[in-house]
Every structure is written in C-alpha cells, then in structure tokens.
Structure 1
Amino acid sequence: MAASGLTKWAAELAKGVHGYWANGRWKPLAISARHRAKIRKETLLSGGEWPYDAPRKEMKTFMKGHKVDRLAEQKRAKTAELMERMPQMLAEMKKRRLERTLKVKAEK
C-alpha cells in the first residue's frame, strides 16, 4: 500500500509540504495531514525515501535564561583583572593628582 499511496499522491505532494500558492492565493493540499502522515510513515517503514519533508531550521546555539546569569562569569573575570591592576592604577591617580596640585601652586 505504501508504494501505491505514494504514487497516487506524488503529484499533489510535489506541489508543497503543506500547500502551495496558485494564482495569488494559498491552496491547501487535496490530501489531509493525517493521510499524508500515514503515507509518509508507511513509506519510511518499507525502506523508501520521503523527499517531501520541509527543510529543518538550524538549532539555536545559546541557552535560554537570564542575561545576568550568563554574564556573571565574565564580570567576575573582569573584576579579578581590575583588582590585579589596582595598585598601578592608584599610583597613576596619585601621580596625576600631585602634578595637578603642583601646577595650580606654580600658577599662583
């Protein structure tokens, strides 16, 4: 039955997976979704090929969740890096402040 069902409806299935556009209007297939699924299942079980499946979309590569949870590790790494540079940053700040005060005193 699988071969006969497929050959009988091959022309209709070739028009599209769920339907097709004709004369500017959407037309559903003349075969019901339940019957199409039954023919597909029988064809695949008998070892045949089913070329009428819709192309699958690419899967998402990221996990759902809260943005704060995803970025927490990056923030911790940046904080650790800044803490290592903190003594140098403080020394530069003190140097700039000293130069600014000396400049102000020199202008007076």
Structure 2
Amino acid sequence: MAGKAAKSVVKAIGEYQYPWREKLTKYKDELSKGVWGYWELGAWKPLGISARRRARLRKEVLLAGEDWPYDPERKEMRTKRKGHKCDRISAEKRAHTAELMKSMPQKLLDYKKRKWEKKMKEEDAKAAKP
C-alpha cells in the first residue's frame, strides 16, 4: 500500500516537475519576439525568459515530440572557400585574360580595318581640298 502511494506521488511529481505546456502558453508571446530580445521604440529589450530557461523549455518540448517554431531561420552554408584574396583575384584575372585572348584575332582585324578606313577618309579629304 505504501509502495502504491509512493509510486503515485513520484508519478505526480514527475509529471509536474517541469510543466512545459503551461510555460509554453505563458511565454508564447515572449518567445515569438525573438531568441535574444527585440527592439521596441528604439530601445533593446531582453526577453522576459532567460536563455537558460528558454533552452530548457525548448529541450522539454522537443523531447515530448512537439515542434518548436520559435527558432530563427538558419542562413545557408558558405560555399566559398577561405583563402587569400590576391590568389582568388589573380585566378579570375587569368581566366578573364584567356577568354579575351580567344577573341583577340577578330579584334585586331577590326582595329586594322578602322585604321585603314580612317586613313582613306583623310586621304580623300586631302584630295578634295585642292
């Protein structure tokens, strides 16, 4: 008989040890304002619940199998590798130079044609003056 009473007391204490549903309803507005705090009328206001208690509440909710919608969205991972900027820029310059060198013969022909046309115009202008 004493064993049953002790078990019921332990069960009652275990269920009520950390009442996360009540805490979740109590702090729902605070949790939706952000993780660390929020700006209000130009002043920074910390949350009404401490970070330790917030983390404990989050852990209890997740262990119970519920979802926790109050976490901020995660940024996507950086794909750019670290390194020296000069190395990266020089590699980009080399690639750009290689692309320009492919079009170089056509550019030279266009340049020679423009110079020749300019020379012909000048000769025609000289010939038309006298």
TM over 0.5: yes
Deviation at 1:50, TM superposition (A): 0.5
Structure 1 residue ranges, 4+ long, deviating more than 6 angstroms after superposition? none
Letter in 2 for 1:7: E
Kindly provide the CA deviation profile for residues 28-65 of structure 1, in whole angstroms up to 9, marking residues without a partner as x: 222211221122123223321102122345x3887377
Does structure 1 conserve the Cα–Cα contact (< 8 Å) formed by 2:37 and 2:47? yes
Residue number in structure 2 paired with 1:78: 100
Kindly name which structure, 1 or 2, has the bigger radius of gyration based on alpha carbons: 2
Does structure 1 conserve the Cα–Cα contact (< 8 Å) formed by 2:20 and 2:60? no
% identity of equivalent residues: 30
Segments of structure 2 that go 5 or more residues without pairing to the other structure are: 1-14
- Distance in 1, Cα, partners of 2:47 & 2:119: 82
The change in CA–CA distance for 1:56 and 1:6 in structure 2 (over 3 A counts) is farther
TM-score (norm 2): 0.55
Residue number in structure 1 paired with 2:29: 14
Does structure 2 conserve the Cα–Cα contact (< 8 Å) formed by 1:13 and 1:29? no
- Greater RCO structure (CA 8 Å; 6+ sep): 1
Q: Give me the CA root mean square deviation.
A: 3.5
Residue number in structure 2 paired with 1:44: 62
Aligned length: 105
Residue number in structure 2 paired with 1:54: 72
The change in CA–CA distance for 1:55 and 1:9 in structure 2 (over 3 A counts) is same
TM-score (norm 1): 0.63
Letter in 1 for 2:117: R
Does structure 2 conserve the Cα–Cα contact (< 8 Å) formed by 1:40 and 1:50? yes
Segments of structure 1 that go 5 or more residues without pairing to the other structure are: none
